[in-house]
A = this chain, B = another copy of it.
């Protein structure tokens, strides 16, 4: 079977929620140096300390954005789904990356030179609004997350993580199975606990019939109950 890298032209429709905001000249300006990259599972997309030279758009696959804390423990800060733009925050803040991004699974990404994006942002208020809206939404989520992760107990945090994954990546045709298959360790890093506790708590949920587990496949059987656990902490 022959494989080819998709060209930018193939992908235009997927990028359109951003590109539609632009004049054709602006579109040209952004796309002339855009490039497509394929990352294997667990491959590093950008690293902490790197200069944010490119706006990235995830076309297919799944990506996690992480930060490592003091004890070497890793926190998954955000997850990216297709078709979502990411990697722009530090460029807008005038910083280097303070997080790193890894492909959960094989992923295709378009990279657009950030300087061009900034040039257009500084001219085109519609594009500005696009980013203002996303940054404001993400900031709200981040604050919410801080409170949840610091105040809720383990069961509440795991329930949060499961519901969050459903919202982020959806479920399979059966309507129950999370479309993303995470290791217990990733699940732990998402909900701020140790791997052992993620395993234990997920087992507990399984015996309580809140979820059904088959390896890395997780079926969410009782959303209402999970939401309640999330609410009461």
Contacts and interface: CB of A to CB of B under 8 A. Distances in A.
Nearest to A90: B140
Contacts of A140: 89-90, 93, 95, 98
Contact of A70 (B95, B129, B135, B231): B231
Contact of A138 (B71, B139, B148): B139
Given A95-B140, A140-B90, A75 B152 contact: no
A123 B125 contact: yes
A57 to B, nearest CB: 18
21 contacts: A67-B144, A69-B148, A69-B152, A70-B231, A75-B146, A75-B147, A77-B147, A89-B136, A92-B135, A94-B133, A95-B140, A124-B125, A125-B128, A128-B128, A128-B132, A131-B132, A135-B136, A138-B139, A142-B146, A149-B150, A150-B150
A92 to B, nearest CB: 4
B133 A93 contact: yes
A146 B93 contact: no
Contacts of A146: 75, 77, 142, 145-146, 149
A137 interface: yes
A192 B147 CA distance: 9
Given A128-B128, A128-B132, A150-B150, 18 more contacts: A70-B151, A75-B150, A77-B147, A89-B140, A92-B132, A93-B139, A94-B133, A98-B143, A98-B144, A121-B125, A122-B125, A124-B125, A135-B139, A139-B142, A142-B143, A145-B146, A146-B146, A149-B149
